[in-house]
Amino acid sequence: MATAIFMPKQGMSMTEGVLVNWLVEEGDNVEANQPIMEIETDKISMEAEAPASGKILSLLTKPGETVPVLSTMGWIGEEGEVIPEKSDSSDIQKDTDEKQDQDQDQTSAESTDNEFINLEKTYTLATPYAKYLANTENLNIDDISKSLGAKQIFSNDVFRYAKENKIEATPVAVNIAEINNIDLKEVAKTITGKIRKQDVLDFIDCKNKREDAQQLPDTIISEDDEIIPINNMRRVIGQRMSQSSREIPAVTQVTIVDVTELLTLRRKINDEMTDDIHFTINDFIMKSVIKTSMEFPGSRSSIIETDSGEMFRISANVNLGVAVGMESGLLVPVIHNANKLSLTELSARMKEIIQKINHSKLLPDDMSGQTITVTNLGAFGIDVFTPIINQPDSLIVGIGAVYDKLYLDDNNNLEKRNEMKISLTYDHRILDGLNAAKFSLRLKQLLESPLNLLV
């Protein structure tokens, strides 16, 4: 039997993906777990593997198309094997319904068809699992049938009807919707689960953008202009950066750090290490940020929404996000529980992440859960910049270039020192200027006394 090639679901938040490129052609023989396509999610680009061994019978999706998760994109099987006519995600849901029905009541499997036939004149046809879900949600199967215009109801129909007709929202979300005259039923159509503050804000933002777009004059495009499609990654980056700038009262402060001793220590350590271990300046910077963050709970804090309103959440550990720029966009892989790693382990972990990025092996889980982020533009000669906070973090640390500076020592002799500037952007809802200044001061102390980073 032919095996379907699906858009894989990589991470709980993934709902769709973009096919970047097929790595195989129809007629090719493939092995199970062999990379067969490149896909792009809202966070990363990666390779997806073949679900089975066999011949590529059909490739249904074209590069550039956006595909919902678990939707069929092609088929693998034996040569000459017949491909099923239906190949969309509804088949998967139907199979799920049948499996759930069997799990709930194996003994009723033989009588299911008779039940449908006998009740056809007076009742809507529905799978036992769909009925179970409807009863759990206090929904009427006949109402679902009339609303959706479906003669037979499956579990996905119940989920769809419940999402459109049963509204659950937090008090903060309800309040924002009332103030802005927003119908929560419209918001519910754009998400799954309970409506929260951010869902309403996103809905308002999209609504405003549509209204603004209608007011903008037509763009004049000449024949010589080049039109380039915005890829999924760039679109998401734009959305998140815009959201962060709108919602966060951000303040940036700059600190000058003398890294002369740090550079000397790094050079001595690398000279004595094997070829397998080589520390970068960024390794020491990451370690100093981690140690500082463990001393300042506010730097590990974020604002979360609960049924009782907004609250502060303080993470027990430091999950360090590290901004990595590429030609195609920006990635922020996360080193989880970074406070439990030594400098050597931290350096090794970062090298592993870079390898994953280079080979498109980074998964969505590798890019989630950060508590604080570091971004370094020093290698490009940038001294100072104003980094945008990577929500839901309370701050982001921007690293500038190392430069030489001449000073007079106590004997009025010229002395060359190495300095760099650190730009700290923080969320003023969570941190005040005093606490942010103390954070910057402690970070400066650690970088200027780097032996403390080895402990």
For 326-379, what is each residue's pLDDT tens digit?
877 788 999 999 999 999 999 999 999 999 888 888 888 888 899 999 999 999
Q: Which residue has the tokens 């990654």?
A: 233
Distances (CA, A) of 147 to 135, 139, 160, 162, 330: 17, 12, 10, 11, 43
Average pLDDT over residues 90-106: 46
pLDDT at 107: 37
Q: Is 360 helix (H, G, I), strand (E, B) or coil?
A: coil
pLDDT digits (tens, 9 = 90+) for 198-237: 888 888 888 887 776 666 566 677 888 888 888 777 888 8
**Cα(269)–Cα(342) distance, integer angstroms:** 15
pLDDT at 108: 39
Q: Which residues in the chain are classed under CATH 3.30.559.10? A: 249-454
Cα R_g (the chain), whole angstroms = 28
pLDDT band of 103, cuts 50, 70, 90: very low
Is the per-residue pLDDT at 112 higher than 90? no
Q: Which CATH number applies to 3-87: 3.30.300.130, 3.20.20.70, 1.20.1090.10, 2.40.50.100? A: 2.40.50.100
Q: Are 436 and 426 in contact (CB under 8 A)?
A: yes
**Cα(294)–Cα(307) distance, integer angstroms:** 29
Task: Enter the pTM of the model.
Answer: 0.64
Q: Is 387 helix (H, G, I), strand (E, B) or coil?
A: coil
Residues 6+ apart with CB under 8 A from 351: none
Q: Please give the CATH topology (third level) of the domain spanning 249-454.
A: Chloramphenicol Acetyltransferase (3.30.559)
Q: Which residues in the chain are classed under CATH 2.40.50.100? A: 3-87
